[in-house]
Amino acid sequence: MRDAYTDQLDSIRDDLVGMARLVREAVTEGTTALLEGDAQRAEQVISGDAQIDALREKLEEHSFELLSLQNPVAGDLRMLVASLRMVSEFERMGDLAVHVAKIARLRVPEIAVPTSVVPMIERMAAVAEVMIAKVEHIIAESDVAAAEELEQVDQEMDKLRRNSFRELLGSDWTYGVEPAVDIALLGRYYERIADHAVSIARRVVFLVTGEHPQYAGNAATL
């Protein structure tokens, strides 16, 4: 009986890793749609969000079932409570990827990102994708050291976000109001994806150690 219970807990961990992978793919595809003005790809990201939502429902149901039937204690209880928080974070990250795709779709047949800003958006997207990939590893391996290191990666995203504002407010911005609004929103979306990744990593630290980590930064709170 205990083996079956352990298998169920492992299944929740596996589904969390799978959810992270789906989110990472959504961010990648949404960014590609954005930078290539690909309406079809944008639509796939938007419609694909239903898969992330469905996995969230599955994980929530499974976690609540174990909470009600198994009366878990200590580490197992932390695992189930943390998983309920993580799925919410992942769903929000998926929603942010959808927002990126919607900007891409809105501007087709034009490309929403001005040429001079493309490198910065590409880097923000790359950092977000790296952070999500690290979260996959952190959850799969309960890697506290990697979770703590993620805070440093997030600092690059914060720096990129500040640079985007300087770009928008600079005297040489010649693209007008509409692209400025798009870039401001995109910067916020990628920044929030990174914040959620850090928040999830912090939950893994709590899961493993039973202690709430205290790091500097702007990540979402526990």
Position 72 scores a pLDDT of 66
In this predicted structure, the answer to whether residue 2 has a pLDDT above a threshold of 70 is no
Structure tokens at 220: 């979402």
In this predicted structure, the answer to whether residue 127 has a pLDDT above a threshold of 80 is yes
Tell me which fold the domain 2-209 belongs to: Methane Monooxygenase Hydroxylase; Chain G, domain 1 (1.20.58)
Look at 77 and 37; give whichever has higher pLDDT.
37
109 upstream amide cis, omega within 30 of 0? yes
Position 220 scores a pLDDT of 44
Residues 124, 164: Cα–Cα separation, whole Å: 10
Q: Which residues contact 180 (CB under 8 A, 6 or more apart)?
A: 168, 173
Model pLDDT for residues 164-197, shown as the tens digit of each residue: 999 898 888 999 999 999 999 999 999 999 999 9
Split at pLDDT 50, 70, 90, the class of 210 is: confident
3-state class (DSSP) for residue 216 = coil
Structure tokens at 49: 């969000």
> Hey, CA dihedral for 68, 70, 74, 79, is it positive or negative?
negative
- Report the predicted TM-score, pTM, of the whole model to 2 decimal places: 0.90
Question: Average pLDDT for residues 38-66, to the nearest whole number?
Answer: 94
Q: Please say whether the beta carbons of 36 and 110 come within 8 A.
A: no
Q: Please say whether the beta carbons of 16 and 139 come within 8 A.
A: yes
